Amino acid sequence: MSDMPLPPFECAPGHRLTAHEKVHQIQLDTLGRRLDRLEQMLERLERRIWLTVYGVAAVILAQAFQSIIASQ
């Protein structure tokens, strides 16, 4: 009986831990991609807001100049 080597014992909790680590890494990668997309969307939104602010300011200044020119 001692002449026959035993096959290596594979521990089930060790496999579960490895699988959990892989799933965790996949979740972190997905979370990173989502965060990158959110940052890009926020940058685009910020640009649009600034364009709107500049547009409104330009309209107000144009009306002010028009009223100044019209009053002279």
What amino acid occupies position 6?
Answer: L
Identify each DSSP E strand in 6-62 by its residue range: none
pLDDT of res. 5? 74
pLDDT of res. 17? 83
DSSP 3: T
Digit-coded pLDDT (tens) for 4-44: 776 666 667 777 888 889 999 999 999 999 999 999 999 99
Q: How far is CA 51 from the centre of its chain?
A: 23
Q: Is the pLDDT of residue 3 over 80?
A: no
- Please state, for a pLDDT cut of 90, what percent of the chain lies above it: 68
Digit-coded pLDDT (tens) for 46-57: 999 999 999 999
Q: What are the Cα distances from residue 68, in Å, to 10, 61, 62? A: 87, 10, 10
Q: Residues for the chain: how many in total?
A: 72
